[in-house]
Amino acid sequence: MNPLRWSFRAQCLLGFLACAGLLAFAIWMQLEMGLEPCPLCIFQRIAFAAVGLAFLLGALHA
């Protein structure tokens, strides 16, 4: 299955799910494993949230 042949909506949803999964893993590591994020990690979370929101808007708009 070639992901480049997927529809634009499917590609955006995949990107959104990837960003949501990364953020969920980071929050799980913080809350359950007791690892405190460094300042750069917090900026990275903000960036992933913004990119995920852009993917979600792209999927809803397509």
What local confidence, expressed as pLDDT, does residue 10 receive? Answer: 93
pLDDT category, 12, cuts 50, 70, 90? very high
Residue with tokens 């929050």: 27
Please tell me the number of Cα atoms within 13 Å of 51 on its side-chain side. 15
Q: How many domains does the chain have?
A: 1
pLDDT in tens, 14-46: 999 999 999 999 999 999 999 999 999 999 999
What is the model's pTM? 0.88
Residue 3 — pLDDT band, cuts 50, 70, 90? low
Tokens of 13: 């949803």
Answer with the residue of higher pLDDT: 1 or 39. Answer: 39
Show the domain range for 14: 3-61
Residues comprising the chain, all counted: 62
Query: What pLDDT sits at residue 2?
Result: 73
